[in-house]
Amino acid sequence: MPDEVLRDAPTYTPRPSELADLELLLSEAYRPLTGFLGLADLTSLRRNGRLADGTAWPVPVSLEVPLAVLGHLDVADPGKRVLILADLEGAPIAALDTVEVYPTREGFGGAAGRVKRLGDGSHGAFRRMRRTPAEVRGTLPQGRILGVIADRPLHRPQLAQIARAARTLAAHLLVLVPVGSPGPDGLAPEALVRCVLAARDRMPDCTIVALPLPHRGGDDIRAAMLRTRVAAAYGVTHLLASSDSMLSGGGLRVLVPRELAYDGRDGQWRSLDDIPPKHRRLPLTFGEIEDHLDRGTILPEWHTPPAVARELTRARPPRRQRGLVVFFTGLSGSGKSTMATGVADALQESGERTVTLLDGDIVRRHLSAGLTFSAADRDTNIKRIGWVAAEVGRHGGVAICCPIAPYHEARAAAREFARNAGAGFVLVHVSTPLEECERRDRKGLYAKARAGLIKGMTGIDDPYEAPTDAELAIDTTDLTYGEAVTTVLRYLGNNGWLDLR
Ligand code: PPS
């Protein structure tokens, strides 16, 4: 591609899941795909699971770009259709030769075409482990390759299954760790890698590779098929499925391991049926593991190697010490700020936690200065608050937020930020009804809105989407200030987020 074409090309940063797809396209883990799919392929794929030319392919690999960016391209002119794709920091990683643009939804369009890597492509934590299929295949020994996709930490039952399968097949072990996004149990990718590395000396001689497999919601079978294809690209000949996953072939054999249990007589993991019930201990469920971590009780050694338990505890400290976002939402005058302040004061007094209070009015004076009450600006406001709160949570602090946050989507984004930062998220709906808020009308805003002096007042002529996912709903109509605050503190105490002594 000539330099001046690249120099003049517009730059765009795709969404994280698209970036993960991009990285797999560039590394050739998605071969035979060489770029983002166009409409003919996507339509055919939806219809029969095949690309337009008949090649079987499990999932749509597409890119959506704002029309404002696409407007700079001319697909008919090879000199004017290059789009630079940049990472989250804005550094260019690939050039897309856009041969097709198609409609998707308002304000956006799909962009299809081959992608070509720019720069050396090394970035991110654990970059030395992010190797391409060709690099990995070049280092693997001849013979069978047993693949394991470790999207959760490996505990003794999985380690025993792996050891058995490797022994039976006389295969070399290749562990693929998906690092595209937080895993199914919300563990940060780096933490997952550390957990897997911590189990390394419990595994046969192995190769460990990190790869940005995005977690796709929805269709489990197709997502599993994609994983199988990627594993095959890395040279896997036999893929060990986790006992609860659905996998199907793609040029390799899929092994569904036997369910193992711990035999209390000799401390070995063996087939469930070979152990008398009174000596048998089943593997902990994800919920039970989560519960140990939440409470801060040590994962039992019969189940989890201590080194793995240590990494897991570092990544998911007990709730008493884990970062937390308490997010109050409700109408103006519902009592959010008062409750938030009361909760913040109580936490400060206890000295157990560091607290950051992100009060609606104060945020709008600093973090969100200049924003209006338009729908777009309210979204920006809530996302800013959610982002800052999540960062507080990432470092183990408690962030208490109390904006109106009238829209579900922005609240969901705030929850997602917290989850990605490894912090807890408690949504408190201050559900005091409009009539009561209007009766209080401390700031006189409702009166002004009714008189038509201010427009877009939440509850009057701008919607409040009541949450359906709140951990707690509190109507302050008949509660004293103290009662309302106590309700929240009690919830936090009962759920292990603070020690209410
Ligand atoms: S939002 O929707 O979450 O971005 O709003 P927020 O940042 O919490 O700001 C709400 C405070 O702004 C004052 N105010 C308005 N609220 C709602 N609608 C309109 N049009 C409006 N104009 C100004 C109001 O005092 C809110 O404060 P609280 O503390 O909620 O009463």
Q: Higher-confidence residue: 118 or 2?
A: 118
Mapped onto helix, strand or coil, the DSSP state of residue 489 is helix
Mean pLDDT of 89-112: 96
Question: Atom 29, ligand 1: which residue's CA is nearest?
Answer: 332
pLDDT, mean over the chain: 93
pLDDT value for 128 = 87
pLDDT value for 248 = 57
For residue 404, the CA-to-ligand 1 centroid distance in Å is 6
**139: left (phi > 0), else alpha (psi -120 to 50), else beta?**
alpha
Q: Which of 175-184, 248-257, 482-491 shows the lowest mean pLDDT across its residues?
A: 248-257
Last residue of a domain, one of 225, 241, 260: 260
Q: Which of 211-220, 276-285, 377-386, 454-463 shows the lowest mean pLDDT across its residues?
A: 211-220
269: which strand partners?
Answer: 262
pLDDT value for 127 = 83
The band of 460, judged by pLDDT with boundaries at 50, 70 and 90, is very high
Measured between alpha carbons, how far is residue 125 from residues 18, 134, 201, 290 in Å? 18, 21, 22, 25
Structural domain boundaries enclosing 93? 3-117
Select, from the ranges 87-96, 185-194, 355-364, 384-393, the one with the highest average predicted confidence (pLDDT): 384-393
Pair 252, 180 in one domain: yes
Phi, psi of 440 (to 5 degrees): -70, -50
Domain of 87, CATH number, reads 3.10.400.10
pLDDT value for 246 = 54
Pair 157, 67 in one domain: no
pLDDT value for 352 = 86
Pair 109, 131 in one domain: no
pLDDT value for 153 = 96
Do 50 and 57 contact (CB within 8 A), yes or no?
Answer: yes
The band of 219, judged by pLDDT with boundaries at 50, 70 and 90, is low
Pair 112, 158 in one domain: no
What ipTM was estimated for this complex? 0.98
Q: pLDDT tens digit string along 393-418?
A: 999 999 999 999 999 999 999 999 99
Q: Is the pLDDT of residue 249 over 60?
A: no
Phi, psi of 117 (to 5 degrees): -70, 140
Mean pLDDT of 93-105: 96
State the Cα–Cα distance between residues 416 and 323, nearest whole angstrom. 14
Tell me if 183 CB under 6 Å of ligand 1.
Answer: no
The answer to whether residue 361 is domain-embedded is: yes
pLDDT value for 123 = 65
Question: Atom 15, ligand 1: which residue's CA is nearest?
Answer: 457
For residue 329, the CA-to-ligand 1 centroid distance in Å is 11
Q: What percent of the chain is predicted at pLDDT more than 90?
A: 84
Domain count, the chain: 3
Pair 173, 72 in one domain: no
Question: Atom 31, ligand 1: which residue's CA is nearest?
Answer: 332
- Identify the burial level of 277 via C-beta atoms within 10 angstroms of its C-beta, where 0-12 means exposed, 13-18 middle and 19 or more buried: exposed
**209 Cβ partners below 8 Å, 6+ apart?**
129, 130, 131, 136, 174, 175, 176, 177, 234
The answer to whether residue 406 is domain-embedded is: yes
Pair 21, 164 in one domain: no
- Ligand 1 atom with minimal separation from the 405 CA: 3
Q: Is the pLDDT of residue 247 over 70?
A: no
Pair 339, 219 in one domain: no
Mean pLDDT of 223-249: 82
pLDDT value for 126 = 84
The answer to whether residue 269 is domain-embedded is: no
